[in-house]
């Protein structure tokens, strides 16, 4: 582990010990048996703390994992899984929003449409892509792509990774809420299969606008929620510092979503997060996508649309058990 890497809050005690151990190992140990013993004991402590740190992640820890700057992004999935990618630009009304990717692609010999939130790999790219928070024109570009997919009978794959839609005044002036609502209505009505993948953050309507379909696959340390923990804490307690408590209350983890019947499958990550070894994680996502698409593409358009409607209606349903008197 290198000291220069990005360190999440919950990793700090582990990183401090690892750095101390690395420093001790650089010393001349030939004349100090006591130091050798100390290094062995410290190495054992580091190993134990490593397991304790990553095997007992809280919801807030997983939120930090989902936001890790080195986590695989939409571009990484596009490069590793898809071929013959043809990107579509612009909403034909205002401009191209780089916070949303839309385009044709091929996966496992099947032509489809891919949509995804697009974060940057560095600060300059993140600024250009608004840190993955789309403007209305980004959602209108996505709507255009959805309609094209429906017209040509192409399945839709979406990659979810945003803290939320951009909340600025200019976005509201250009109809942010209307664009999100129209995207949801379009997703609900298309007669082609839709598979969603939560690869990182999944915040509010900004994620839902391209994140509703016939199957939801979640990475182990991704999240999906009605509001980011900070926003929720600000609303409920007027204190964003209570985000840790909000994360637990929101039940936003992949495991929670599977329990609720909202998500269908979890892609497990290496200990420490997908950024530690992205290759196998991305490959597992590709395999899950092909499996889901193989099953969904056997249905006709009417069956797909009806099944999606029933899936949406079932979310949040409360069952009451009547007891005989």
Q: Which tens digits make up the pLDDT trace of 203-237? A: 999 999 999 999 999 999 999 999 999 999 999 99
Among the residue ranges 19-33, 148-162, 302-316, the one predicted with the least confidence is 19-33
CATH topology of domain 63-314: 2-enoyl-CoA Hydratase; Chain A, domain 1 (3.90.226)
Does 323 score more than 70 pLDDT?
A: no
Where do the domains of the chain lie? 9-56, 63-314
* Count of alpha carbons within 13 angstroms of residue 319, beta-carbon side: 5
Q: Report the distance separating Cα 142 and Cα 102, nearest Å.
A: 6
Contact 226, 274 (CB under 8 A): no
Q: Which of 1-15, 30-44, 178-192 has the highest mean pLDDT?
A: 178-192
pLDDT surpassing 80 at residue 65: yes
Which tokens belong to 189?
A: 């009505």
Higher pLDDT, 21 or 268: 268
Residue 31 confidence class, pLDDT cut points 50, 70, 90: low
- φ, ψ at 160 (rounded to 5°): -95, 120
Average pLDDT for residues 146-151, to the nearest whole number? Answer: 97
The string of pLDDT tens digits covering residues 70-126 is 999 999 999 999 999 999 999 999 999 999 999 999 999 999 999 999 999 999 999
Of the two residues 38 and 307, the one the predictor is more confident about is 307
1 falls in which pLDDT band (50, 70, 90)? very low
- Whether the pLDDT of residue 44 is over 90: the answer is no
**189 to 116, 118, 215, 233: CA distances (angstroms):** 19, 25, 15, 34
* Torsion of Cα atoms, 311 then 112 then 103 then 207, to 10°: 20
- Residue 200's nearest CA partner among 217, 216, 223 is 223
- The 10 Å Cβ neighbour count of residue 267 is 23
Which residues neighbour 2 within 8 Å (Cβ) at sequence distance 6 or greater? none
What pLDDT score does 318 carry?
55
Calculate the average pLDDT of the chain: 90
Beta strand residue intervals within 56-206, DSSP E: 83-87, 100-107, 110-117, 156-162, 194-202
pLDDT at residue 43, rounded to an integer? 83
Chain-centre distance for alpha carbon 50: 24
User: What residues contact residue 195 under an 8 Å CB cut-off, 6+ apart?
Assistant: 155, 156, 157, 158, 213, 214, 215, 216, 217, 289, 292, 293, 296
Q: What is the mean pLDDT of residues 43-61?
A: 87
Going from the C-alpha of 169 to that of each of 175, 226, 282, the distances in angstroms are: 10, 21, 36
* Confidence band for 29, pLDDT divided at 50, 70 and 90: low
Contact 219, 236 (CB under 8 A): no
Question: According to the model, what pLDDT value does residue 4 have?
Answer: 52
* Tokens describing residue 112: 């489809």
């Amino acid at each position: 582990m290198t000291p220069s890497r990005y360190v999440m809050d919950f990793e700090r005690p582990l990183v401090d010990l690892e750095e101390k151990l690395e420093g001790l190992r650089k010393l001349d140990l030939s004349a100090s048996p006591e130091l050798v013993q100390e290094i062995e004991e410290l190495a054992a402590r580091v190993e134990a703390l490593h397991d304790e740190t990553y095997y007992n992640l809280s919801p807030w820890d997983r939120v930090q994992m989902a936001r890790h700057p080195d986590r695989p992004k939409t571009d990484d999935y596009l490069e590793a899984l898809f071929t013959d990618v043809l990107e579509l630009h612009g909403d034909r009304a205002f401009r191209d929003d780089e916070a949303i990717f839309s385009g044709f692609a091929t996966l496992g010999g099947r032509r489809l449409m891919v949509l995804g939130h697009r974060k940057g790999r560095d600060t300059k790219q993140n600024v250009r892509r608004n840190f993955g928070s789309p403007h209305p024109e980004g959602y209108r570009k996505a709507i255009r792509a959805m309609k094209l997919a429906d017209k040509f009978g192409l399945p839709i794959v979406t990659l979810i990774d945003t803290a939320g839609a951009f909340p600025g005044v200019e976005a509201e002036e250009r109809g942010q809420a209307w664009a999100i609502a129209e995207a949801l209505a379009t997703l609900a009505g298309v007669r082609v299969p839709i598979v969603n993948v939560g690869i990182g953050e999944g915040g509010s309507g900004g994620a839902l606008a391209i994140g509703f379909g016939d199957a939801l696959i979640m990475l182990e340390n991704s999240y999906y929620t009605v509001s980011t923990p900070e926003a929720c804490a600000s609303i409920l307690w007027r204190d964003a510092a209570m985000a840790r408590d909000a994360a637990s209350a929101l039940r936003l983890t992949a495991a929670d979503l599977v329990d609720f019947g909202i998500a269908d499958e979890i892609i497990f990550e290496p200990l420490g997060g997908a950024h530690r070894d992205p290759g196998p994680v991305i490959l597992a996502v590709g395999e899950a996508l092909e499996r889901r698409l193989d099953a969904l593409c056997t249905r006709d358009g009417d069956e797909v649309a009806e099944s999606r409607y029933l899936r949406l209606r079932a979310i949040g349903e409360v069952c009451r058990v009547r007891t005989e008197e």
